[in-house]
Structure 1
Amino acid sequence: MNKTKGYIEAEISKAITQWEKDFLGRGSVSVKTDILRDMVIVVLRGILTPAEYAVCETKEGILSVKRLRSDLVESGEETLKQIILTFTGEYVKSFYTDISTRTGERVMVFKLQNDLEKKLKN
């Protein structure tokens, strides 16, 4: 079966939601995955707790929450890369992530070895 771009994006979203629940103890409110050229871009909404929002009222608090959340995600980076490989058949060349303490969104960008979008069109 030839998997469509939309199918792969949905499967990655489901797998990352499950990873969040298993690894971080709770999932985000919503996850949207997009395949663009040689990148898989994942946007997770609603990831901060009410306590984290309260801490984020100061500059030090923002930096502290960003650092802690970044460390948590980076400690699970190999599993995340494996999820991408499983659903795309592509190895992850590099991984970037950041969190907005204002909106409670996290963006993950997986840069792949090859142009997956072009491959899916053929």
Structure 2
Amino acid sequence: MVNSKKKLEAEISAAFITFQRELMGRGPQEAKTYIVQDMVITRFKGVLTVEEKHLVSQDTGRRLVKEMRQVLREMYSKDFEEIVNRLTNCNVLSSHSDISTKTEERLEVFIVDRDLEKFLESKA
């Protein structure tokens, strides 16, 4: 279970990094995915561009960056969900995202239609 779970988590992280680099010309510095019951959680580190780092030093800029990132996430939510669908063979029921301009991290949470962790355990 551990090997297949870790392998799947690594594959999801790599797919998200590749997608974001192709989409925006750059991706996060690091991504780590965790499969917990029926959730796929990915934590991205180093997500802000140089320009965004300058903007977040002011309150107005912080709000602007968060709003822009939320709009982009909504535009590409189907693409993110498709990555999870394809790699896990699960249907994504809902997905959630938030970005911290203080720590330069973003979290993506996907709720899938079965207990993926338990499924991977049963296949081990």
TM-score, structure 2 as length reference: 0.93
Which amino acid in the other structure matches residue 24 of structure 2?
L
Please say if 1:102 is aligned against 2:108.
no
Q: What's the CA shift for 1:96?
A: 0.4
Aligned pair count?
A: 120
Q: How far apart, CA to CA, are the structure 1 residues paired with 2:84 and 2:16?
A: 9
Q: How far apart, CA to CA, are the structure 2 residues paired with 1:67 and 1:25?
A: 20
Q: How far apart, CA to CA, are the structure 2 residues paired with 1:72 and 1:116?
A: 28
Structure 1 gaps of 5+ residues are: none
Q: What's the CA shift for 1:74?
A: 1.6
Q: What's the CA shift for 1:50?
A: 2.2
Comparing 51-60 with 96-105, greater Cα deviation is found at 51-60
TM-score, structure 1 as length reference: 0.94
Please say if 1:72 is aligned against 2:72.
yes
What's 2:4 paired with?
4
Q: What's the CA shift for 1:95?
A: 0.5
Which amino acid in the other structure matches residue 43 of structure 2?
V
Residue aligned with 1:81, SS: helix
Q: How far apart, CA to CA, are the structure 1 residues paired with 2:70 and 2:25?
A: 15
TM-superposition CA deviations, 1:52-89 (whole Å, max 9, x none): 11111222211110010111122111111111011111
Residue aligned with 2:120, SS: helix
Q: What's the CA shift for 1:100?
A: 0.4
Which amino acid in the other structure matches residue 102 of structure 2?
R
Q: How far apart, CA to CA, are the structure 1 residues paired with 2:23 and 2:110?
A: 19
Q: Which runs of 4+ in 1 moved over 6 A?
A: none
Comparing 14-23 with 55-64, greater Cα deviation is found at 55-64
Which amino acid in the other structure matches residue 63 of structure 1?
R
Residue aligned with 1:114, SS: coil
- Identical columns (%): 38
What's 1:17 paired with?
17
Structure 2 gaps of 5+ residues are: none
